[in-house]
Amino acid sequence: MHKTRYFLPPMPSLTPGNYDLYFPRLRLAILPRANLHVTGDFEGLLQPVLEGARKNAGRDLNVPENHIVVPVHELQVSHILDKFKEATVFPKEFSIPARAQQSIRYFC
């Protein structure tokens, strides 16, 4: 499996069948811009994601000045908050559905 599917503590425990790995949700974390090294048009490319989050929540995203939004897998939120003390994660209402990029293989 891809390293993004490796669940790091303090992730909540999962039992087989109670989470659909094919259709995770993206959550939005906010970090100080000074703590990130962003290249390219990251913020421009992220705009459709932010618009989807605003639409789902029915209200605007309040991003502090000099901060940047980073999408994260919903199962990694507890790990992000534990390891990055300066991170803030928007409430679940701002999450957006996604399709898993890594294929899930099985053998018959």
DSSP 29: E
C-alpha 77/C-alpha 81 separation (Å) is 6
Query: 88 or 13: which carries more pLDDT confidence?
Result: 88
16 within domain boundaries: no
DSSP 40: T
Give CA 104 to chain center in angstroms: 20
Looking at the predicted structure, is the pLDDT value of residue 2 above 60? no
The count of domains in the chain is: 1
- Both tokens of 6, joined, read 């490796």
Q: What is the structure's pLDDT at 4?
A: 53
Looking at the predicted structure, is the pLDDT value of residue 6 above 80? no
Question: pTM for this structure?
Answer: 0.80
46 within domain boundaries: yes
75 within domain boundaries: yes
The values of phi and psi at residue 76, to 5°, are -100, 0
86 within domain boundaries: yes
Q: Would you give the end-to-end CA distance of the chain in angstroms? A: 18
- Contact of 26 with 98, CB cutoff 8 Å: yes
Of the listed ranges 37-41, 59-63, 91-95, 100-104, the least confidently predicted one is: 100-104
55 within domain boundaries: yes
DSSP 83: H
Looking at the predicted structure, is the pLDDT value of residue 48 above 90? yes
Q: What kind and span of H or E run contains 73?
A: strand 67-73
Q: What is the structure's pLDDT at 1?
A: 42
Mean pLDDT of the chain: 86
What range does the domain containing 38 cover?
Answer: 24-97
65 within domain boundaries: yes
- pLDDT bracket for residue 105 (50, 70, 90): low
2 within domain boundaries: no
